[in-house]
Amino acid sequence: MTDDRRREVHKELEKELERRRGHFAAARQRRAFIAANYRPLHPNVYTLRDEFVDPRWIELAELARTHRSKDALLEAAAGVVRQRPRGVFAFPALTPRFCELMREELDHFERSDMPRAHPNTMNKNGLLLYELGMYDELLTPLLERYVSPVAAALFDGGEREMANGSDSLDHHRSFTVRYEPEGAGKDVDLAYHFDDAEMTLNVNLGGHFEGGELLFGGLKSDGDEKHSARYPHFHREGIAILHRGSHCHEALPVDSGKRTNLIMWCRSSQVRIRYCAMCGRDKITTSKIE
Ligand SMILES: O=C(O)CCC(=O)C(=O)O
Ligand SMILES: [Fe+2]
């Protein structure tokens, strides 16, 4: 690399760093403002309780701690976890009670005049749950107690050598997405993409809607961004899917009603320290992730 090129790259990185610092500072400010001024409708939904988690997920996490390989876990949890297509696992995760409280809380917040930002670069509707104050007592414990052990076991084996971070998830970016039919001026669908996450947990929060299925294609590493075969996942209240962030997917338009999902982009510091977040290259051996 020439000196000129190196200077150019440094400039680009500095700009990106600045952008991210500004972004985090604004999010912290909104978080503080909301903590001081917003009065929740259901304060108890901000703390994880056993009654919020489907007993089958509690048992699955327990089994995952003792059956650390995918095949052993799938056998022990037969009838609870479904895999379709390969690498996309569905299981009952959150109770109807939790889903209802959460939908009502989100509606209540949306009706308020509190500040908010877009959940990611693609979704306009939906909320950043860090800003609502849902990380410390609700979502981080959910990651630690239930998502992490299950991810470590289900993405073990063949996938492990790909350093996918499934056994070292230690932080997350969590938000909701909301879709409504054409004409409401809201998000209707979501284009084919991969997530900025090692593992993604996506749980439907129920309510009435038609359409809005997720379609899964190939892995980012297949280099086949327009993978032709797509496998559908039909959302059902409280059912989670867990997949690699690099597993490309899209959401079909919602035809009626309102679809609300809770998304946790689960991340691993080990992976992020080692691989460049911008180009995905291994900083040590210079080969690419996956
Ligand atoms: O629409 C969904 O359920 C998925 C949203 C999604 O893929 C994302 O936010 O990354
Ligand atoms: Fe996604």
Query: Structure tokens of 270?
Result: 């080990």
How far apart are the C-alpha atoms of 22 and 136, rounded to whole Å? 22
Mean pLDDT of all residues belonging to the chain: 91
Average pLDDT on 4-33 reads 93
Domain boundaries, the chain: 38-274
Q: For residue 177, what is the enclosing H or E element? A: strand 171-179
Q: pLDDT category, 161, cuts 50, 70, 90?
A: very low
Question: For atom 5 of ligand 1, which residue has the closest CA?
Answer: 177
pLDDT of residue 226: 64
In a 10 Å sphere around its CB, with 0-12 CB exposed, 13-18 middle and 19+ buried, how is residue 2 labelled?
Answer: exposed
- Give me the residues near ligand 2 (ion), CB cutoff below 5 Å: 195
Higher pLDDT among residues 280 and 162, named by residue: 280
The interface predicted TM-score of the complex, written ipTM, equals 0.99
Q: Which atom of ligand 1 is nearest to the CA of 204?
A: 3
The band of 286, judged by pLDDT with boundaries at 50, 70 and 90, is: low
Confidence at residue 74, expressed as pLDDT on a 0 to 100 scale: 92
Q: Which of 91-95, 105-109, 190-194 has the lowest mean pLDDT?
A: 190-194
Bond preceding residue 40 cis, omega within 30 of 0: no
Q: Calculate mean pLDDT across residues 132-155.
A: 97
**211-247 residue pLDDT tens:** 999 999 988 887 766 666 788 999 999 999 999 999 9
CATH 2.60.120.620 fits 38-274, yes or no: yes
Distance 195 CA to ligand 2 centre (A): 5
Over residues 102-120, mean pLDDT: 95
Pocket of ligand 1 (CB under 6 A): 120, 123, 177, 190, 195, 202, 214, 249, 251, 261, 263
- Region 55-65: mean pLDDT is 96
Q: What is the predicted pLDDT for the residue at 279?
A: 74
| Token code pair at residue 31 | 């978080």
Q: What is the rounded average pLDDT of the residues 276-283?
A: 76
- Let me know: does 207 contact 259? Beta carbons within 8 Å: yes
Mean of pLDDT values over 184-206: 94
Q: What is the pLDDT of residue 163?
A: 66
Taking the alpha carbons of 283, 21, 191, 255 in that order, is the dihedral positive or negative?
A: positive
**C-alpha to C-alpha distance for 45 and 68, rounded to whole angstroms:** 31
- Percent of the chain clearing pLDDT 90 (strictly above): 75
Residue with the larger pLDDT of the pair 277 and 78 = 78
User: Each residue of 207-246: b (16+ CB within 10 Å) or e?
Assistant: eebebbbbbbbbbbeeeeeeeeebeebebebbbbbbbbbb
pLDDT score recorded for residue 79: 92
Average pLDDT over residues 189-215: 95
Task: Give the Å distance between the CA of 263 and the centre of ligand 1.
Answer: 7
Band (pLDDT 50/70/90 cuts) for residue 160 is: very low
